[in-house]
Amino acid sequence: MADEKREALAPVAEEASACQKCPLAETRTLVVFGEGNPDSPLLIVGEGPGEREDLTGRPFVGRAGALLDECLAENRITRKHVYITNIVKCRACSSENSRKRNRPPSTAETNACRPYLDRQLEIIRPRVVLCLGSPSANALIHTNFRIMQERGRFFEVPFADYAIAALHPAYILRQGGQAFRDVRATLVADIGAARLKVVEIRKAEAKTLF
């Protein structure tokens, strides 16, 4: 099944790699389509590539990615267990004093890129989607998502059994001291909740078989 899904994703990734549907095509280095196990029951969706991701073509490979890996590992999850992507596949940035700075993707950019994510969701058919940060939760759970109040809760969604949101690792890295430890703990807990939900779904299905 994983091979079939990989084969189905390949032409979508190929199409995205040459995409010119929004202005982010002009400033990107590489399209960051997503990677991991397409047969995973858990799909992780962030906001968009940053500098390191743009240079490598891989999602979550900078400091935020290292933090995500740590928090996954605390739940006994590795990248081989999950599929990771973003709501936009190209880096959104602005130029300041000839330096590129990350910026949130615009609604028009997010909308232009959405068909790629929709096709990923259709092919992967995850059981649980974990949205990292409010732009991802806004796009996939509901608009005006209040990340501080609504993270850690499960929502019924049409493209998976459930979606849940967690704080984005890049936001967590901007905190210091006890605040850092507190918000980091929420990411570990939210990943753990997503993992447990997958286990619950599978247990419930196993019961209905016998």
Residue 190 CA to residue 171 CA, distance in Å, equals 15
Closest by CA to 152, choosing from 199, 191, 202, is: 191
Query: In sequence order, what DSSP letters do the residues of 56-86 get, joined into one string?
Result: HS-SS-SHHHHHHHHHHHTTT--GGG-EEEE
Number of residues this chain uses to bind ligand SF4 (CB under 6 A): 13
CA Rg, the chain, in Å? 17
Query: Binding to ligand SF4 by residue 30, rule CB under 6 A?
Result: no
Binding of residue 24 to ligand SF4 (CB under 6 A): yes
Query: What is Dmax (Cα atoms) for the chain?
Result: 65
How far is residue 55's CA from residue 49's CA, in Å, rounded to a whole number?
9
Using rule CB under 6 A, residue 45 touches ligand SF4: no
Residue 147 in the binding site for ligand SF4 (CB under 6 A): no
**Residue 6 or 21 with smaller CB distance to ligand SF4:** 21
Does residue 36 sit in helix, strand or coil?
A: strand
Given 88, 117, 131, 167, the residue binding ligand SF4 (CB under 6 A): 88
Between 19 and 67, name the residue whose CB sits nearer to ligand SF4. Answer: 19
Name the segment binding ligand SF4 (CB under 6 A); options: 22-30, 67-75, 118-126, 159-167.
Answer: 22-30
The stretch among 75-83, 109-117, 128-136, 143-151 that binds ligand SF4 (CB under 6 A) is: 109-117
CA-to-CA separations, 122 to 9, 152, 157, in angstroms, rounded? 10, 24, 13
Sole binder of ligand SF4 in the list 58, 89, 127, 168 (CB under 6 A): 89
Q: Applying CB under 6 A, which residues contact ligand SF4? A: 16, 19, 21-22, 24-25, 31, 88-90, 109, 112-113
